[in-house]
Amino acid sequence: MTSVTSPSSQDEIERLNARIAALEHERRHLLAIIEILQEIAASLHFTDIVQSIARKLGEAFGLDRCSIFLSERGGRTVRLVASYEDPSIRNYVVDLDRYPELRKALQSGQTVFIPDAASDTSLQHIRGALNHRKVKSITVVPITWRGVPIGAIFLRTFRDGPTFSDSDVRFCQVVANLTAKALRNAHRFERLQERRGENPVNRAREREQAALIGFMRRLLDEFAEKDGPWGEGVLAKASAEELDRMVGVAMTVISQEAAGR
């Protein structure tokens, strides 16, 4: 005997399957959030933070492109600081005339979603490139701090890839908020390092100075142990006094430089 499923039962099965799919989608989002939190917690350097976020988003959605842009004070200059498809890009100044959707997101502080990039009139100037890359949708999520856009996450999907849903957009907005807080913490950490004199550049310079001073001391000690021009009585008293004066001047200059005067 063949069982027949009633229309109401079939509808219920479809609703359950849709609910299961939605829960699975949400589970993947939560796992991605956990992975991103683990990534950004492992570093306090902004370059590592933005690159790890771009990589995680690109992998999670199988994107054609995932980039993170940061704007300088006043929003006059925008830089591409991380790219999923090309991790070597770290500090590239972009022309906002080529990215009207990015400009709109930065100016309005609102997410910009273009479901069909190929037919959007604002992207006519790059339609050929979009068709070549088989781009489907573009989403630009602003990164804001205290209500002010400081950058944006730029996501581009393939035409043959999965549809970017409303829940995906909300997920990216959560990631943008995490990014803003992580960048703020990284900025505070770098400022603290500078105040403590622990800036990596300063530490490298100090090591170079220490190495140079150590070398000169060893060189002078080596000569001092030998008979020669370092022996007593070789230099005239006037010459010795002049050397003492020159050393004093040099030490004063060095002290002033170290104090930042």
Q: How far is CA 98 from the centre of its chain?
A: 22
Residue 230 is predicted with a pLDDT of: 47
Answer whether residue 2 is part of any domain. no
Residue 200 is predicted with a pLDDT of: 59
Residue 45 is predicted with a pLDDT of: 77
Residues 181 and 81 in one domain: yes
User: What single letter denotes the amino acid at residue 197?
Assistant: G
Residue 103 is predicted with a pLDDT of: 92
- Structural domain harbouring 221: 199-230
Which runs of E-coded beta strand occur in the chain?
65-71, 78-83, 92-93, 112-114, 135-145, 148-158
Residue numbers in the chain where pLDDT is lower than 50:
230, 232
Answer whether residue 259 is part of any domain. yes
Answer whether residue 94 is part of any domain. yes
Residue 111 is predicted with a pLDDT of: 95
Q: What percent of the chain has a predicted confidence (pLDDT) above 70?
A: 66
Residue 194 is predicted with a pLDDT of: 66
Which strands sit side by side in the sheet containing 78-83, from one edge to the other?
Answer: 92-93, 78-83, 65-71, 148-158, 135-145, 112-114
User: What single letter denotes the amino acid at residue 140?
Assistant: V
Residues 66 and 156 in one domain: yes
Domain count, the chain: 3
For CA atoms 201, 203, 207, 212, the dihedral sign is positive
Residues 53 and 114 in one domain: yes
Residues 36 and 156 in one domain: yes
Residue 243: in which H helix or E strand, if any? Answer: helix 237-258
213 Cβ contact list (under 8 Å, min separation 6): none
Residue 38 is predicted with a pLDDT of: 75
